[in-house]
Amino acid sequence: MPSSNDPASLRKRQPSEEKQLHPTSGVAASGAPDGSGQDASAASASGAFSFFHGFPYILLLSLAFSLYFILPLHSPQLLPHTYALCSPSGANIYTVDNRVPRAQCLVVHGSHFLDVGSLEEVQERWATRVATAYTNIPESSPIDVRYLQPGQIVLPGLSDSHAHILEYGAMKQIPLEDSKTAQVECVSHVKEYILADPELRDDKSKFVEGWGWDHTRWLKEEWPSYEFFEQDPDVSGRPIVLQSKDGHALWVSATVLRSMEPLPEEVPGGAILRDTSGKPLGVFLDNAQDLVKRPVPTHKALEKRFSATVKDALAHGLTSIHDAGISPISLEFFRRQADDGKLPIRIYGMTYYNENADYWGDTVVKIVGAGNGRLSARSVKIFADGALRSGGAALYEPYTDNPETRGLMRIEPEVLNTIIPKFMRDGWQVIVHAIGDRANGIVLDAFEEALKIANVTALRPRLEHAQILAEADMARFGDLGVIASIQPTHATSDMWFGEERLGPERVKGLYAFRSILDHGARITTGSDFPVEGINPLAGFHAAITRVSPDSKSPHGPGGWFPEQRMTREEALRGMTIDAAYASFTEDTLGSITAGKRADYVVLSQDIMTVPATSILSTNFIATVIDGRPAYGTI
């Protein structure tokens, strides 16, 4: 996870950098046409625009004005491509629009939805448009109609409301997640990675980084040690840093450990794990991870990670990803990709907050709709506590399996009560990671306090994870207008050790999805990849069944606390329109509605009606962004 914030690169920029796309026209407020990817204001803001640099631009403007008067208005040469996508066997397009919940056809005009309805309806309306608006198209010109294959359905583009984009790409480099032992399998995977890269193999000074180890899945559940690396001659003596699956622990080699000396005895909001003699193991939890210094990744390395993530995301129907805690380095990378027109997917960024840095909410300019609507960063992400898996979630009462601890707060309540209202006053959406019941209660207290100076609901605060909740706190989500951002596959991962860690009564408040919804809260869903898999249908399946992919749970095939299941409609909304609401884009994304961006996904079967056991066999046929396939074909 990020460990720093507030560099010069995030300081105030020219006002031209903050532009909002018009919800229906696709034209930026600055005047950049839909699809341009960049505009003159960006060049002006960079200070690079001069007469000679601008001369070609002036010629292009002159040409554009000439064409405007030479070519007739609405001529076919200037019209975006229009097509209809229809189901031959009924209303198999799920719009997630209450006005027309299901339809036979959608119509795309350029990068936006133009119409929704039956084939007869959209053809009639198209003929009327041709006759009244597009005067240079023959009235007999039919609309281009394409058809789904039998059984296929269409959904709005899917969103993952909590993920880590570049970290997922880093995880793909070394397959640590499925390792059953630290000392043998994890080290073996690291060795294979080193030997496969000539630069790493021949230069022992180069850092080796990976992601995904999970001590709770090892045959012997124990924390690893730096000594494991030193037992293999190809691995020993190298600087190695491996991130845990949940992102809350780092495992480092002896070389890295020596470079960090002297280590402090304690770290507020974190822990340095030690053996029985007090010697560090090379494992650092939560805030103690900030002690580990790693080299800044190159742009080439970031591009490699980004490409790996985008490839998998598009292949699984994702059109939008909320990046949950981007560092300044990541944000600058995404900004550069957006400026260069290289964002193939929509990103909603949560800027990581470092309490050791100066407050920046009144100096950093929010990013809204950069890169032709592909990048926004108007929220701040704060970590309240650690993770349940690593025993860092802050609880009201001690852990059942470790009565010596109640977990830890990574930030003091007094700081939360100060920082949250300040960010809200400056117009930022505040997003807080809170897993334990104590952490969730403290954060809800802070949001309630913020009501005194700001309209909390209008700023759409979010609690990320909201995993363990006291009964009294469940009702406060709806009362305060706080969005619960949940990850359903966490429930089916943690259900195997949840009761052992929390006890038989407290575990009932773990992943209580139905209770949160019944108290009037809005839920948005995600995966937290690379902590979990990237397939959004895995989250859909977990939310509605509360069983593992092989239909198992500690409570049997009926589901783990089945009374907490979500309906299919609620789960679909959580990854479409409610995810759009959670990122302030419900006017342009999240449903198949005329005027909205034409983001949609084609699936091989109807996940809303097939048996739950068949959902995970669904194939993604196509992922479409701005009306054009980003994956597959239509």
Domain assignment present for 557 = yes
Strands (E), 148-248: 153-156, 158-163, 208-213, 240-244
pLDDT of residue 139: 64
Single-letter residue type at 306:
F
User: Is residue 49 situated within a structural domain?
Assistant: no
Which of 271, 291, 311 delimits the end of a domain? 291
Asked whether residue 56 carries a pLDDT value surpassing 90, the answer given is: no
Which strands sit side by side in the sheet containing 628-632, from one edge to the other? 102-103, 93-94, 153-156, 600-603, 620-625, 628-632
Whether residues 282 and 429 share a domain: the answer is no
The β-bridge partners of 383 are 433
d(CA 246, CA 251): 13
Report which of 482, 469, 457 is spatially closest to residue 513, judged by C-alpha positions: 469
Higher confidence at residue 163 or residue 212?
Answer: 163
Query: What is the model's pLDDT at position 197?
Result: 93
Indicate whether 281 and 392 sit together in one domain.
no
pLDDT at 596: 98
Q: In this structure, are 424 and 562 located in the same domain?
A: yes
- 3-state helix vs strand vs coil in the chain, percent to 5: 35, 20, 45
- pLDDT at res. 50: 37
Supply the mean pLDDT for the chain: 87
Q: Does 535 lie in the same domain as 414?
A: yes
Are 389 and 264 within one domain? no
In this predicted structure, the answer to whether residue 67 has a pLDDT above a threshold of 50 is no
In a domain, 399, yes or no: yes
Higher pLDDT, 314 or 62: 314
Rounded CA separation 194/178 (Å): 19
Looking at 258, 291, 324, the residue that finishes a domain is 291
Classify strands 375-383 and 153-156 as parallel, antiparallel or unpaired. Answer: unpaired
The answer to whether the CB of 581 falls within 8 A of the CB of 524 is: yes
- Model pLDDT for residues 506-548, shown as the tens digit of each residue: 999 999 999 999 999 999 999 999 999 999 999 999 999 999 9
- In the chain, the number of structural domains is 2
Question: What Cα–Cα distance (Å) separates residue 192 from each residue in 46, 180, 198, 235, 395?
Answer: 44, 16, 11, 10, 40
pLDDT of 146 reads: 97
The identity of residue 428, as a single letter, is W
Is 149 among the domain residues?
A: no
Instruction: Specify if 602 maps to a domain.
Output: no
Distance between CA atoms of 255 and 190, rounded to whole angstroms?
15
Residue at a domain's end among 565, 589, 613: 589
pLDDT above 70 as % of the chain: 86
Is residue 207 in some structural domain? yes
Domain of residue 215, CATH code? 3.10.310.70
% of the chain exceeding 90 in pLDDT: 76
Reduced to 3 states (helix: H, G, I; strand: E, B; else coil), residue 515 is helix
Q: How confident is the model at residue 16 (pLDDT cuts 50, 70, 90)?
A: very low
What's the predicted TM-score (pTM) here?
0.82
Which range of residues forms the domain containing residue 287?
A: 164-291
Identify the burial level of 580 via C-beta atoms within 10 angstroms of its C-beta, where 0-12 means exposed, 13-18 middle and 19 or more buried: buried
65 has a pLDDT exceeding 60: no
Rounded distance between C-alpha atoms, residue 110 and residue 35, angstroms: 9
Identify the CA nearest to 465 among candidates 422, 509, 433: 433
* CATH number of the domain residue 552 falls in: 3.20.20.140
pLDDT at 310 over 50: yes
What is the Cα–Cα distance from 632 to 624, expressed in whole angstroms? 8
Same domain membership, residue 392 and residue 287: no
When pLDDT is averaged across residues 137-145 and rounded to a whole number, the result is 79
What's the CA gap between 106 and 592, in Å, rounded? 8
| Whole-number pLDDT of residue 58 | 42
What is the band of 135 on the pLDDT scale with cuts at 50, 70, 90? low
Measured in whole angstroms, how far is the alpha carbon of residue 259 from the centre of its chain?
34
Q: Which of 416, 507, 434 is nearest to 477 (CA)?
A: 434
d(CA 225, CA 221): 13
pLDDT tens readout for residues 373-393: 999 999 999 999 999 988 999
3-class DSSP state for residue 109? strand
- 111-134 per-position pLDDT tens digit: 999 999 999 999 999 999 887 877
Amino acid 232 reads D
pLDDT greater than 90 at residue 4: no
Residue 110 lies in a domain: no
C-alpha 160/C-alpha 86 separation (Å) is: 26
Residue bearing the bigger pLDDT, 400 or 248: 400
Residues 255 and 402 in one domain: no
pLDDT at 75 over 60: no
Q: What is the pLDDT of residues 574-620, one digit of tens each?
A: 999 999 999 999 999 999 999 999 999 999 999 999 999 999 999 99
- Residue 626, SS3? coil
How far apart are alpha carbons 22 and 25 in whole angstroms?
A: 6
Cβ atoms of 384 and 447 within 8 Å: the answer is no
pLDDT tens-digit map of 403-446: 999 999 999 999 999 999 999 999 999 999 999 999 999 999 99
pLDDT in the model for residue 451? 82
116 in any annotated domain: no
Per-residue pLDDT tens for 246-301?
Answer: 888 999 999 999 999 999 999 998 999 999 999 999 999 999 999 999 899 999 99
